[in-house]
Amino acid sequence: MRVSAVLFALAAAAAAQTTPAPAPTPAPPAPVGPDAVWTPPDGFLAAMHKACDKRSGDAFGACFVAQMEKAGASPAAVAFARRTGNLGYLRQFRSTGIVAIACATYPFRANENGVCFLVNGEPPMLDVDDPKLIDTAELLKNRDYAAIAKAYPKVAIFPGRRFGDMAAMPAQLHNGGQRFRVDYSLQDGCHACAHLGTMRMDFDFDADGKFAGTKVDAVRPLRLH
């Protein structure tokens, strides 16, 4: 019995030595601030295309950010660009409390070059145009949107203005949280199709900066004749 116990203890000790330790929890990214804003110098895009156009995919994005560094972008600006997947740079930062507004330019998109994020909360970086954040079933409960969808079954939601004070409008909630009102354009199926109206969504965060969800604030149909 004693031998069996010793063997079991040795086996357990060996298993403990060979079991990999759990991976450490990654540290949260550094907060985004005004030092991450970057304005490309004159001639930057021409020089960047000359250096990067023979590359594609991830290699092109990495080259773009390398050219930002070469052109004098700050470490914070470079870090933000990398958080976009090497797709864009921070154009405007607005300090609005725990959660702030960061509007970026994605220069290589055919359309919708402006992208706005709600940053420094939980999650650390939230794209207001992420389609997963809009509950279509809940949206159809709005009478005005339902009427548009009935008359125009191809109705599609596109970003509104994504730069300046109207890109995301902050407000304080009574519980100490934050609300950001964001506008969208309703189009008849495509970016260049007929404009059907506008929609405003509320993005709410609690007092600790944790995302609490979205809800429809208003839908304003355009009277088409």
The answer as to whether 124 is a domain residue is no
pLDDT of residue 224: 56
| pTM summary value | 0.85
134 in any annotated domain: no
What the block records as the tokens of 125 is 């970086």
50-85: pLDDT as tens digits: 999 999 999 999 999 999 999 999 999 999 999 999
Report the chain's C-alpha Rg in angstroms: 24
First to last CA, the chain: 92
Domain membership of residue 123 (yes or no) is: no
- Residue 200 forms part of a structural domain: no
Domain that holds residue 74: 30-87
Positive or negative torsion for Cα 100, 106, 112, 114? positive
Give me the percent of the chain exceeding a pLDDT of 70: 87
Q: How many domains does the chain have?
A: 1
User: What is the rounded CA–CA span in Å between residue 70 and residue 210?
Assistant: 36
Residue 192 CB contacts under 8 Å (≥ 6 apart), including other chains:
none
Residue 57 falls within a domain, yes or no? yes
